[in-house]
Chain A
Amino acid sequence: MRMSAMGLLLIAFSIPSAYCQESFRVELGRDGETIAELRPVFMTFESRPMPAISPAEVVRRYQRLFDTSEEPEVRVDALNRLANIQQVSGQLTQPDDTQELRRYREALGSYESIIQSGSFHGKLDELLYQMAKAHAYVGQGDQSIQRLRQLAGLYPKSPLVPEARFRIAEAAFSAGNYTDAELEYGRLISGSGGDRLKLKAHYMQGWSRYKQGKDAWPRAAASFIRVLDQQLPDSESMERVSASDVELVDDTLRVIALMAAESGGERALTAWLGGFGEKHYDYLLVDRLADHYASSGRFGDSVSVNQAYIAARPDHPAAAAFLAQIIDVWILAGNNDRVREAWADYVVAYESDDRYEALSATHQELWRTLSRQLADYYYDQGERASGDWFSRAAAYYEGLSKRAHEPGDILGLAGDARLQAGHYRVALENYRQAAYRTEGYGDAVDAGWAAISLHRNGLDSRTTFETRLQDLSSEVDRFAERFPGDPRLSGLDADIANRWLEHRAYTEARRFAERVHAHNSARPDERYSAWLALGEVHTATGDHVLAEHAWRNAAALISEHSLAGVDVAQAHEVRLQLARAVYRQGEAAQQTGDTHVAVGHFQRVGSVLPGSEIAIKGRYDAANSLLLAERWQAAIGELNRFRADYPEHSLTAGISDKLVLAYTRSDQPVRAASELIGNSAQTGAHWPRKLRAAELFHQGDAIDRRNSIYQQFLNEPHEPVSAAEHIQAQTMRQRLVKSGVSPDHFREQLVSTELSSQWHSPDTLKWSASAAMALGRMSVRKFEAIALQYPLAESLARKQAALEKATQRFAEAIRLDAQTVQSEALFRRAELYRMLAADLMASEVPDELNDLERAQYQMLLEEEAYPFEEKAIRLHARNHELLAEGEYTEWVGKSLEVLAELFPGRYDRDVRWMTWNEESSDDA
């Protein structure tokens, strides 16, 4: 396993295939089974430039020179040149092992000869070097090291000394003499060798120390760190590491990590480094250490070292890689819970925009992937068990939505998660953002619909989301504007319309209901619902014309389609509403005085819902409208037809009164009275109607029918309880008297009732006084009819009784209405006495009387008559004296005439008319 950052490092350190041209090789590059068996990688020394001619030809020529020359120097020189050519030209000129071995064995002889002869003209240090090489090649390692020590000892300033020391150290290392090796490497490091060689020396010194055991590891680490310091002097040098050094650096990192792993982990590492942050490449070591732990099954340690570094350097560019590596470690460990925790740590670490923006594209993609995985995981958990899973899922979705390339789906899922978590307000915002603020989101319409559903569920108490119908309406408006062609809109608008209707918000209800009809795709049941809403709205707002339109359309839909849930009862209800709308139009027209229109509407109700109660009421009110319009004859016809069609209907009870009104106002009092009489029995208290009928009969000159009612009424005991009732009864009596119906009987009732009543009116007083006078006159006639016959006493008594009766009537008349009847009453009373006196004087004289007796009897009669005549004169004189009150009546005149006869000396006067001839003429 290797984390991605490390992968990059490896790429930088990749070894080119041409890496095989070296003049000297020590095979130390393979790890052993134990730490003790670990070996450094192979080392290259130096290379030389290739000759300009064909290497194969040059090799062939030098090989021939080497084989043919007898001179040791020539042969050694030829051998050196062969080696150089083979070094730079590669396999094309490489001899096989047998040939090479033979060549060096022969050369060793030449070297020995030169040294022994002491006549070598070349550089002896080089000769020693070549001999060391030849010994090494033929397997004489000790001799080779000896020659090298000779070289270093005899020629310390030779440029071959550093290499010689290196080979000495290498030999010690190979022999397991690590202390010697460390020492030799140290000498080389402190010597005059080149940087490159010293680098290798540091490296091998590190290994030498490493091989000495744990106690030497801090020193080893220091050596290795020197290697790294040299190879990676700054952060940019990572990119410049040569291909040949990649493995060196990699191995250095590896071995430091190995030592740290066995020395307490990151504590040891930080100690060697002087703390995290002191070396810019420290993260590579941490990575190696963590990698080592992971590959060793020490997952917790691996994570810990990563976490320690992240904690120490949270803003390090590799921190994200370390977080990612933690994830991989836990995956490797098979610990899913820790994996998710690692996911979460990663997501949280780069939650802020500035940290996220600082991530590489790869890590940004990783962040999004992890956010989605976490969100999906928690959403799935939420569906499986209770807890705050949905809330956690929503948070990840929401975070992801800000960085997703196409956030629509994510926002939708965030909305769903918030919805499931009961975070309705946030869910709503997520849905809205997905639906209306996410360009190119293919399922935006579903998100918009989800927002609407959220409101609806809240309003319907299916959730605890506190929302208002206004909010739902706004949501629907937004949806309609954004997705005008959505086929669900029509049903939705119908639903909202009905909701507003329940709140009696008629303007809004109307707006949504009318919008339903703007959708061509609206289904019949949706249109039906909208029409119902409009019907209710217009009914409530008093626009009954539009209400009729709505109800009529609803009814049409019922008849044209099979609407779910619309049964016979509801269909009837719609028809009833339609009928009511028509009826209300009638009422409205009636109120504005447009009676003709009102009647038309009322009568239309029957065509909408024949036989219904409202249709009946419509007909009834049509008649009422005609009455209000004073279209009496039309009203009479309508009322009569109504009564004929609905004789048992409750409204029919009121028809009679309306007919009476219509007949009365149309100057048909007799018909009005007949209507009253005809229905009086139905009312129970019939006399008021009968008496009203009588009055109407009176107005219509149906006197007999009137009198019949009067007589019935007066024949029953009715004690008036008010002046009006008294006057009413007296009026009846007066009219009966005038009609000649038992006049004396009703005159007597008039007089007696008026005299005993506490109530009077000018009319009743006049009528009763007149009646009393009439009765008096009748008594006078009776008085006159009584002849005074012998024996006088008996007839005189009857005559006096008649006189008293008449006098009583006249007195009653005067009590009742003195102003009107006093003069006549006085005259008639005076005449009674005058007639009595005359009758006495003219009364029958008994036949048995002689003349004297007859004369005496006559004188007695005169004596009896005289007081009556005197009384007559006094009464006439009193009547005459009424002139003093300024009132001259015919009865005063009559009294004067009588007085002129009875008392001519005082009352018999003539006036004198004058003529032109100066003579006056007296009236006769």
Chain B
Amino acid sequence: MMPEYRVLVMLVVLGVLGGCAGRPAPDQSRGEGRVEPVTREDVVQINNQALSLKEQSRFREAATLLRSVIESAPDTPELHYNLAVISELYLLDLEAALVHYRQYRELSSSEDKRVAGWIADLERRLQ
């Protein structure tokens, strides 16, 4: 990951977290003039953070967070999966859901029949 992406991701994360009332701000020590690559830990943290937002019915914020981290870690299938679910059920953005279900399928090492069915249903509903 290029240093520019890390900075961008961190800024998005900080912006999202800043809008989360009651939640502790993430550790910002890494953003202080130092450019570090997005680590696995970052992705996990951001993904779970997005799901926490979803639990609080802050669906658009969750999707935004996921999209941002996907920009930095596009190869993480869980990110695509969660973004697809949130887009489908809570944002009613079926096209985005289809895109990210498909990317999840492509990144997944094993075939997920349930997801395949959902893709098929979405493709049918979007026709």
Contact = CB atoms under 8 A, between A and B. Distances in A.
Interface of A: 880-881, 883-884, 888, 893, 896, 905-907, 909-916, 918, 920
Interface stretch (B1-9, B12-20, B29-37, B39-47): B39-47
Given A911-B51, A918-B40, A906 B121 contact: yes
Contact of B57 (A888, A905, A907, A912): A888
A789 to B, nearest CB: 39
Interface majority SS (helix, strand, loop, mixed), chain A? mixed
A915 B51 CA distance: 13
A910 B51 CA distance: 11
Nearest to A919: B78
B82 interface: yes
10 interchain residue pairs of minimum CB distance: A914-B44, A920-B78, A888-B57, A909-B85, A914-B47, A912-B78, A911-B82, A884-B92, A914-B78, A911-B51
6 contacts: A888-B59, A906-B118, A909-B85, A909-B88, A914-B43, A914-B47
Contacts of B118: 905-906, 909
Interface in B73-112: 78, 81-82, 85-86, 88-92
Contacts of B59: 883, 888
Nearest to A912: B78
A911 B86 contact: yes
Contact of B47 (A881, A896, A906, A913): A913
Contacts of B47: 913-914
Contacts of B86: 911
A913 B85 contact: no
Contacts of B78: 912, 914, 920
B58 to A, nearest CB: 9
B44 A916 contact: yes
Contacts of A905: 117-118, 121
A920 B51 CA distance: 12
Given A888-B57, A909-B85, A881 B90 contact: no
Interface of B: 40-41, 43-44, 47-48, 51, 54, 57, 59, 78, 81-82, 85-86, 88-92, 117-118, 121
A911 B54 contact: yes
Contacts of A911: 51, 54, 81-82, 85-86
Contact of A896 (B40, B43, B89): B89
A913 B48 contact: yes
A913 B86 CA distance: 13
Contacts of A906: 118, 121
Contacts of B82: 911-912
A279 to B, nearest CB: 151
A883 B97 CA distance: 15
Nearest to A896: B89
Given A888-B59, A896-B89, A907-B89, A912 B81 contact: yes
B41 A883 contact: no
Given A893-B57, A914-B44, A918-B40, 20 more contacts: A884-B92, A888-B57, A896-B89, A905-B118, A905-B121, A906-B118, A906-B121, A907-B89, A909-B88, A909-B89, A911-B51, A911-B54, A911-B81, A913-B47, A913-B48, A914-B47, A914-B78, A916-B40, A916-B41, A916-B44
A899 to B, nearest CB: 9
B114 to A, nearest CB: 9
Contacts of A881: 92
Contacts of B85: 909-911
Nearest to B47: A914
> Could you say which of B78, B88, B92 has the most chain A C-beta atoms within 10 Å of its C-beta?
B78
> Could you say which of A909, A910, A920 has the most chain B C-beta atoms within 10 Å of its C-beta?
A909
Given A883-B91, A888-B59, A893-B57, A913 B40 contact: no
A737 B7 CA distance: 57
A894 to B, nearest CB: 13
> Could you say which of B89, B91, B117 has the most chain A C-beta atoms within 10 Å of its C-beta?
B89
B44 A883 contact: no
Nearest to B48: A913
A893 B56 CA distance: 11
Contacts of A888: 57, 59, 90
A333 to B, nearest CB: 143
A911 B43 CA distance: 15
B57 to A, nearest CB: 5
Contact of B92 (A883, A910, A915): A883
A914 B50 CA distance: 11
A876 to B, nearest CB: 13
A886 to B, nearest CB: 8
A83 to B, nearest CB: 182
B44 A915 contact: yes
Contacts of A910: 85
Contacts of A912: 78, 81-82
A810 to B, nearest CB: 23
B39 to A, nearest CB: 11
> Could you say which of A881, A896, A912, A916 has the most chain B C-beta atoms within 10 Å of its C-beta?
A912
A114 to B, nearest CB: 197
Contacts of A916: 40-41, 44
B19 to A, nearest CB: 16
A793 B82 CA distance: 48
Nearest to B120: A905
A532 to B, nearest CB: 82
A922 to B, nearest CB: 9
Nearest to B84: A909
B3 to A, nearest CB: 24
A907 B85 CA distance: 10
B43 to A, nearest CB: 7
